Structure 1
Amino acid sequence: MTEPSATASVEVAVDPATAFEIFTEEIDLWWVRGPINFFDAARATAMQIEPGVGGRILEVYAPPDDVLELGRITDWAPGVLFAYRSSVDDTEIRIDFEAYDGGTRVSVVQSLVPGGEKAFYFWPNVIHWLPAWVERRDHASRTPRELDRLAIALYYKDPAAAARWLHTVFGLDSWDKIPAEGTDPSWIELQVGTRAILLFKLTEKRTVQLDHSVWVYVDDLDVHFAHSQENGAKILSDIHQHGYRCYEAEDLEGHRWTFAQARPTMA
């Protein structure tokens, strides 16, 4: 059964009007370009919010007129709130900006509409990227930060506990925040420089020997897939789309590799 709503909030050290402006006008700068942070990561080049009622929330592809509409704005009050009806699932999203302790509390509520069945509750994960950008925006580059083409996927029985341990013991940081005890995020991304470490839940489908894997981003996934097949790689999954476009294969000693389509913006 789909849960009826998901909520989250963060605090930022700017006034509500500035927080609203940063959230809406600079979304392409604070949105983390991680491996699984778009509906079509292979083609995404930017995120965009068109201001005002009737404006669109967009995932932008190349060329610029190629977009995925994520939603249409239904309420727009700069410095106070904006809301939109999702175009990709059956939810409504409201983001409030409230003066709080010298700054602003930004709260998001993503709710299933009456009679709705499909909900992608991604906002509770995403909103935590905002404070990190607010803290560094005065001295940061205005070019969106892109990740390297190599990522490591780690599989744990308790990914949230593993993230806390890796942060405390090894000093690994996060794009947004280290999950607190009692939380179970849908995905966790840690970072080493501009490289991503993806934490997933270990399931019965994976053995202890294959609980870690490498992700590599390539220019042309179809060509790479054909080359791997022709040269004897054991294909574990054909090319498929789930936010990112990828396939999985094993090497000669049974280690798992995930090859994903690089975005146009990836160096």
Structure 2
Amino acid sequence: MPEPSATASVEVPVDPATAFQVFTEEIDLWWVRGPINFWDSSRAIEIRVEPGVGGRILEVYADDALERGVITAWEPGVRFEYRSSTDDTETTVTFDPIAAGTRVTVVEALVPGGTEAVYSWRNVLHWFPAWVARRDTAPHEVREVGRLAVALSYDDPAAAARWLHRVFGLETWDRIPEEGRQPSWIELHAGASSIVLLRRDAPGAPAADHATWVYVDDLEAHFTQASEGGAKILSEIHQHGYKCYEAEDLEGHHWTFLQARPTMP
């Protein structure tokens, strides 16, 4: 039997009316488009919230749509509620004024007699503040992941994510796991390209017959950061058509960092 409810909360530096509008009208801009973030990731083209009571939460496909929920309460700037169409939960999203802006809280609750609950908001709500922070300067266009991704296996993927973030400066559209957390899915990004960190099935050093290539804006500065952070440098900056250096991470994976062209997005 699933737990009776799950709660997640974030704070954003805008007033409740703006937070409500951005949350609902721009959900397709702040929803991270990863391979596990949709019911049918291979077909999804949009996440949409239809406003008002009776409106639907939709996962839109080219020729169809999955109804994820139906709105049962709609108070702009205050709250909205919906009954899930995919499990036995009711969800309430509230927008409370605080000194720094708005606290957004999502409560997913199992309905009486319900037996199935997929409490997903606690895994995705933290995407919302990231979009609020950048929406005034970022293009209002869907941020789609690239067609090329790399999957790397580690004995401790969360520790590897923190190390790669600190030493190699890799960012994420999601979040870097905190100490003590071991998410089932960790995805870093270099531009639109994904680097997926998985748990290794069997302990041992990885094969050294592959490498991840990442283009960076300032190769010299990146080399200094990696060297000082503890990366094992396999080759210093050199040029052979492209300008690059090679390094090894904390569990033996090989990485090649290259100077990005000015025209690269």
Common fold by TM > 0.5: yes
Q: Distance in 2 between matches of 1:177 and 1:2?
A: 26
Code of the aligned partner of 1:49: V
Q: Which structure 2 residue ranges, 5 or more long, are not aligned?
A: 212-265
3-state DSSP of counterpart to 2:112: coil
Code of the aligned partner of 1:185: P
Partner of 1:197: 195
Structure number with greater Rg is: 2
Partner of 1:9: 9
Aligned runs of 1:1-150 on 2, under 5 Å? 1-63=1-63, 66-150=64-148
Q: CA deviation at 1:150?
A: 1.2
- Evaluate the alpha carbon distance shift between residue 166 and residue 113 of structure 1 in structure 2; reply closer, same or farther with a 3 A threshold: farther
CA contact (8 A) 2:81 2:91 kept: yes
Q: Which structure 1 residue ranges, 5 or more long, are not aligned?
A: 215-267
RMSD (CA atoms): 2.5
Question: Any idea what the Cα deviations from partners look like across 1:129-166, whole Å, max 9, x if unmatched?
Answer: 11111111112222211111011223334333332222
Question: Any idea what the Cα deviations from partners look like across 1:76-123, whole Å, max 9, x if unmatched?
Answer: 111111111111112222211111222111111222223322222221
Q: Distance in 1 between matches of 2:149 and 2:4?
A: 34
CA contact (8 A) 2:90 2:110 kept: yes
Partner of 1:244: none
User: How many aligned positions are there?
Assistant: 211
- Evaluate the alpha carbon distance shift between residue 159 and residue 37 of structure 1 in structure 2; reply closer, same or farther with a 3 A threshold: same
- Evaluate the alpha carbon distance shift between residue 88 and residue 166 of structure 1 in structure 2; reply closer, same or farther with a 3 A threshold: same
Q: Which of the pair has the greater relative contact order for Cα pairs under 8 Å at 6+ separation? A: 1
Question: Any idea what the Cα deviations from partners look like across 1:159-206, whole Å, max 9, x if unmatched?
Answer: 3333222212221111132222233434222111111122333346x9
Partner of 1:223: none
- Evaluate the alpha carbon distance shift between residue 72 and residue 170 of structure 1 in structure 2; reply closer, same or farther with a 3 A threshold: same
Q: CA deviation at 1:7?
A: 2.1
CA contact (8 A) 1:29 1:133 kept: yes
Partner of 1:265: none
Question: Which contiguous aligned blocks of 4+ residues in structure 1 show a shift greater than 4 angstroms?
Answer: 206-210
Q: TM-score, normalised by structure 2?
A: 0.72
Report % sequence identity.
64
Q: Distance in 1 between matches of 2:154 and 2:111?
A: 34
Q: CA deviation at 1:46?
A: 0.6
CA contact (8 A) 1:156 1:202 kept: yes
Partner of 2:160: 162
Question: Any idea what the Cα deviations from partners look like across 1:232-257, whole Å, max 9, x if unmatched?
Answer: xxxxxxxxxxxxxxxxxxxxxxxxxx
